[in-house]
Amino acid sequence: MPAIFPRWTHWLPLQIGVGLALVGSVVTAGVTYYCTPKYTRVGYQPVQPVPFSHATHTGQLGVDCRYCHNTVDKSWFSSIPAASTCMNCHNQVLKDDPRLAPVRESAATGQPIPWVQVHIVPDYVYFNHSVHVARGISCVECHGRVDQMDEVRHAKSLSMSFCLDCHRRPAAFVRPVDKVTDLGWQWNSNAVVAAQMQRTNGVAFVHDWKIESLQSCSACHR
C-alpha cells in the first residue's frame, strides 16, 4: 500500500518543534534584554571627567538649569555649557582647585570637555525640549531630582510607554512655566490638596496652552 504522505513529512513535527523553540528563545532573549534596566539605562551613572555636583550648584546654590543648559527652552536639544560658562564663576571661586584643571585647560585651548552623555534616546525618536519646556513640562519629569545628584544618573526609563503615559494625560504633568526648572516645586505641601490643584490647574493649562494629546506614531517617529 503506497504511503499517504511523502517521507519528508515524517520530520515535519520535529522541524516545527525546533522552529518554535528557536523563535521562543529569540523572543525570550529580546524581552529579557530590551525590557530591563540594562537597556533602558535606568540607574546608569557614568564617572565624568570633572566632578560636577548638581546637588551643590542647583540644589544648594540655586543655579537655574537654564544658566548652563541655555538652549533647553529655545531648541530641540539641551546644550552642554562651554568651559567659559564655568569660568564665569570659577575664575574667582576655587580658581586653583586641581579638580577643575580640565575646565581651565578647556577654556584656554577651546577643546571641549569630554563629558559622558547620560540620557540618550534612539535615533528614530524625535524629541523637542523647547516644546515641552514651553508647555510646563518640568525637567524633573524626565530626568528626576537632578538637583539632588552629585553624579547625574539616568533616573527614568524614557521608554515609549513612559512617554505615552504623559501624552495620554498631560494635565497630570504640566505645571506653571516659571516653575519648570524648580525641581522641588509642588502645588501644595498637602498631598490631597496638591492633587486637587493639579487636576484643576492641569486641565486649565492644557486648554489654555492648546496642548495636544499626541499619540500617533508620526508624533515621535519621523
Q: Distance of CA 33 to CAs 28, 30, 37, 121, 140, Å?
A: 9, 5, 8, 16, 26
Q: Where are the alpha helices (DSSP H) in 91-213?
A: 101-109, 129-133, 139-143, 160-168, 191-208
CA distance 31 to 34: 5
- Residues 107 and 127: their CA atoms lie apart, in Å, by 30
Run of H or E residues at 39: helix 37-40
Per-residue confidence (pLDDT) for residue 39, from 0 to 100: 61
- Give me the pLDDT at residue 37, please: 56
Beta-carbon neighbour count of residue 36 at 10 Å? Answer: 10
Task: Answer for the pair 142, 177: CB distance below 8 angstroms, yes or no.
Answer: no
**For position 79, what pLDDT does the model report?**
93
DSSP secondary structure string for all residues of 95-127: TT-GGGHHHHHHHHH-PPP-PPP-----TT---
Give the integer Cα–Cα distance in Å for 37 and 28. Answer: 16
Residues 6+ apart with CB under 8 A from 90: 97, 100, 103, 104
Report pLDDT for 121: 86
CA distance 198 to 171: 7
C-alpha 163/C-alpha 179 separation (Å) is 21
pLDDT in tens for each of the 222 residues of the chain?
A: 555 667 766 677 777 888 888 888 888 776 666 666 556 688 999 999 999 999 999 999 999 999 999 999 999 999 999 999 999 999 999 999 999 999 999 999 999 999 999 998 888 999 999 999 999 999 999 999 999 999 999 999 998 999 999 999 999 999 999 999 999 999 999 999 999 999 999 999 999 999 999 999 999 998
Residue 25 has a pLDDT of: 85
